[in-house]
Structure 1
Amino acid sequence: MDDTVDDTVNDDLDLDAFTAAVESFNRFYIRLPTLEKLSFTTLSVLDTLAFSDRPMRLTDLTRTEQITQPAITQLVTRLERDGLVQRRPDPSDGRAVLVHITEAGRRICRSRRDDRTRHLSPLIAQLTAEQRKALAGALPALTRLAELGRNRP
């Protein structure tokens, strides 16, 4: 696989600066204080299930979360014990199971988003009107970029 960057994409966007800004923001964002104190991987699995809005196989979660099959199996077992997910047989393949997020799992995801919104609000208020407008203008592109990333094989 060729890791070179296509310069035609860079005409109006410094990809290195974009990557650095996203990484910097992400480091800050994932560490915002929240009431729900769960591991990053646990929260990532819940968020993946909530956002996809469909049940997923363990093998799919292994791929999206980039952890081993035994690790995801152990994590899902813990989440099921805590009432945050349920495992059900896959109707299209009796040998497989589908992992469903429960309402309790969804509440955790909503709570974390609400907590983060509360922490971001006063910070965003310190931005200039032009900076807030720039953020608002970037939302469609960032949303589309996330969609493209999720749909990659």
Structure 2
Amino acid sequence: MSTPPELSIPELTSVLGEFTRMNIRLPALQRLSFTTLSVLHTLTHDGPKRLSELTATEQVTQPAITQLVTKLERDGLVERHPDPSDGRATLVHITPAGTAITQGRQAERNARLTELADHLTPAERAAIAVALPALARLVQLHREGGQA
């Protein structure tokens, strides 16, 4: 019986970085900036956010996120509504048009990755399938603040 290979964190970081760059660029229909897409994705998956929360999650300055949200609002992709927990604040909500962009990009990404995966061997496909729960767990740990 063979021993499982050791996990190389530098190799994992490198491969995930390259995969992420490829995955981000797979959809070709809707050309939007990375930050724009990230904001739409965040709002789609995490729900409405204050501008200050978006500043933190998107790692941009307050003026930059304000300018971006204003443009997205003008384009009909997001809306601002009063925060029910604090009348002085507003929450940024994604609109159906914004959701359509994220869903369309996901569908296009799924189709392109299916094409690429069709060129993998059965063993390569199985190896990725086996790794998915561990990768999902890394994401969960990160969301929980990196605690094991």
Question: TM-score by structure 2 length?
Answer: 0.89
Q: Is the 8 A contact 1:89 1:98 kept in 2?
A: yes
Query: Percent identical across equivalent pairs?
Result: 56
Write the mapping of 1:101-140 to structure 2, written as runs, cut at 5 A: 101-140=94-133
Distance 1:136 1:110 in 2: 23
Q: 1:151 to 1:102 in 2, by over 3 A?
A: farther
Which secondary structure state, in structure 1, belongs to the residue aligned with residue 120 of structure 2? coil
Flag as ranges the 4+ runs of structure 1 deviating above 6 A. none
Distance 1:56 1:12 in 2: 40
Distance 1:76 1:61 in 2: 10
Give yes or no for the alignment of 1:30 onto 2:24. yes
Cα deviation, residue 35, structure 1: 0.8
Give yes or no for the alignment of 1:65 onto 2:58. yes
The aligned amino acid for 1:89 is: P
Give the RMSD, CA atoms, in angstroms.
Answer: 1.6
Q: Aligned residues, how many?
A: 142
* Alignment match, 1:18: 12
Q: Is the 8 A contact 1:62 1:68 kept in 2?
A: yes
Gaps of at least 5 residues in structure 2 are none
CA deviation profile, 1:21-62 (whole Å, cap 9, x unmatched):
10111122112242111111100000011111x211111100
Question: TM-score by structure 1 length?
Answer: 0.87
Cα deviation, residue 72, structure 1: 0.3
Give yes or no for the alignment of 1:39 onto 2:33. yes
Write the mapping of 1:67-82 to structure 2, written as runs, cut at 5 A: 67-82=60-75
Gaps of at least 5 residues in structure 1 are 1-10
Distance 1:78 1:110 in 2: 20
Which secondary structure state, in structure 1, belongs to the residue aligned with residue 87 of structure 2? strand
Distance 1:33 1:44 in 2: 14
Cα deviation, residue 14, structure 1: 1.2
Which secondary structure state, in structure 2, belongs to the residue aligned with residue 27 of structure 1? helix
